[in-house]
């Protein structure tokens, strides 16, 4: 396939661009963009973004026809005093800017290497690099953040162009605590069953590839109450993830519930902007359970703050 001339390597393009970049012809100068990333202020639920999770940002640029144009990486972006990504030499056209952020080495792309002018936005995928038998057991799921923006690049004569992009998590943090359990030496596990969305399209929609199990041992506080935390890829209302507490010692299920059904009982919780859920389970003497989720008491008919 013959590439359009605008996809010639930048090494060959830049001398041509700068040779035309004279005092009276600033419109021929290469553009300079500064892309600023920030955490979405609409995120709620216990502080949905930890800046320490943003170890690396991968920026992908596609043209108006959805063809791959350029890629840049930035390590430790939020650790820098004055942070922005600089993109040079884009023509004054419409572009789609897509960025993923998270931990280094946890993610890759399909195809592994994008070809300039050939790889399409529609075929591109973002893939979790490691998982064994679709089971996350005693291994913390890596964080994942996403942002997209379509913008027209302005000519150089307009000066340095600023683009602001808001990062949104594509994962959830589920915090579990209990109350009312009798003291014992028994051990427990916190488990969530869901469909695995370890492959994302570049519009952040996921490609389901089977079931997944997230599992971690429960710790105990000084009152023998359980606490644990699981990080999962996005929990969606069109799926039915199941939450369980398992008594490992007795090989019995202590508690089981449809997580989405529980969250849907709370009108104050927006699944699109809430990414951390603190689920507090209160056991009575007969071991029946009531729940608090992010401070809201879940009952059969209503949710009330406590």
The predicted model gives 57-84 an average pLDDT of: 87
Are 164 and 179 spatial neighbours (Cβ–Cβ below 8 Å)? no
pLDDT digits (tens, 9 = 90+) for 190-240: 999 887 666 889 999 877 667 788 899 999 999 999 999 998 888 877 778
pLDDT beyond 80 at 79: no
Region(s) of the chain under CATH 2.60.40.2090? 172-305
Predicted confidence at residue 136, as pLDDT, reads: 62
Are 281 and 178 spatial neighbours (Cβ–Cβ below 8 Å)? yes
User: Interior CA angle at 101 toward 83 and 76, to 5°?
Assistant: 40
pLDDT beyond 90 at 34: yes
Please give the backbone phi and psi of residue 136, each rounded to the nearest 5 degrees, phi first: -95, 95
Question: In the chain, what percentage of residues exceed pLDDT 90?
Answer: 44
* d(C-alpha 217, C-alpha 242), whole Å: 17
Predicted confidence at residue 93, as pLDDT, reads: 93
Q: Are strands 276-283 and 171-179 parallel, antiparallel or unpaired?
A: parallel
Is the sign of the CA dihedral 132, 136, 141, 147 positive or negative?
A: positive
- Which CATH number fits the domain 172-305, given the four candidates 3.40.50.1000, 3.40.1440.10, 3.40.640.10, 2.60.40.2090? 2.60.40.2090
How buried is residue 172: exposed, middle or buried, by Cβ count under 10 Å (0-12/13-18/19+)?
Answer: buried
Is the sign of the CA dihedral 249, 252, 254, 258 positive or negative?
A: positive
Q: Are strands 32-39 and 161-169 parallel, antiparallel or unpaired?
A: parallel
* d(C-alpha 178, C-alpha 185), whole Å: 16
pTM of the model: 0.78
Write down the CATH number for the domain with range 5-106+142-169: 2.60.40
66-70, 81-85, 174-178, 185-189: range with lowest mean pLDDT: 81-85
Predicted confidence at residue 13, as pLDDT, reads: 45
* d(C-alpha 43, C-alpha 110), whole Å: 29
pLDDT beyond 80 at 21: no
Please report, in angstroms and rounded to a whole number, the separation of the first and last CA atoms in the chain: 64
Question: In the chain, what percentage of residues exceed pLDDT 70?
Answer: 75
């Amino acid at each position: 396939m013959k590439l359009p001339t605008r996809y010639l390597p930048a090494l060959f393009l830049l001398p041509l661009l700068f040779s035309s970049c004279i005092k009276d012809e600033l419109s021929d100068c290469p553009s300079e963009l500064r892309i600023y990333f920030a955490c979405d202020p609409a995120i709620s639920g216990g502080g949905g973004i930890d800046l320490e999770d943003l170890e690396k940002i991968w920026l992908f640029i596609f043209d108006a026809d959805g063809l791959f144009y350029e890629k840049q990486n930035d390590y430790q972006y939020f650790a820098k005093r004055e942070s922005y990504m600089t993109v040079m030499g884009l023509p004054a056209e419409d572009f789609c800017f897509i960025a993923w952020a998270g931990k280094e080495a946890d993610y890759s792309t399909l195809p592994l290497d994008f070809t300039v002018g050939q790889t399409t936005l529609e075929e591109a995928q973002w893939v979790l690099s490691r998982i064994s038998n679709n089971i996350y057991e005693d291994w913390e799921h890596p964080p994942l953040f996403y942002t997209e923006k379509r913008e027209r690049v302005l000519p150089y004569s307009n000066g340095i162009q600023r683009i602001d992009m808001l990062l949104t998590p594509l994962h959830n943090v589920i915090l579990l605590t209990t109350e009312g359990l009798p003291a014992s030496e028994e051990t427990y596990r916190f488990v969530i069953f869901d469909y695995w969305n370890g492959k994302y399209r570049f519009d952040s929609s996921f490609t389901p590839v089977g079931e997944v199990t997230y599992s971690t041992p429960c710790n105990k506080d000084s009152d023998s109450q359980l606490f644990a935390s699981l990080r999962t890829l996005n929990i969606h209302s069109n799926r039915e993830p199941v939450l369980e507490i398992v008594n490992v010692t007795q090989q019995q299920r202590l508690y089981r519930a449809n997580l989405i059904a529980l969250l849907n009982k709370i009108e104050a919780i927006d699944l699109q902007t809430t990414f951390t859920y603190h689920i507090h389970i209160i056991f009575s003497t007969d071991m029946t359970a009531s729940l608090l989720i992010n401070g809201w008491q879940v009952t059969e008919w209503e949710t009330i703050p406590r």
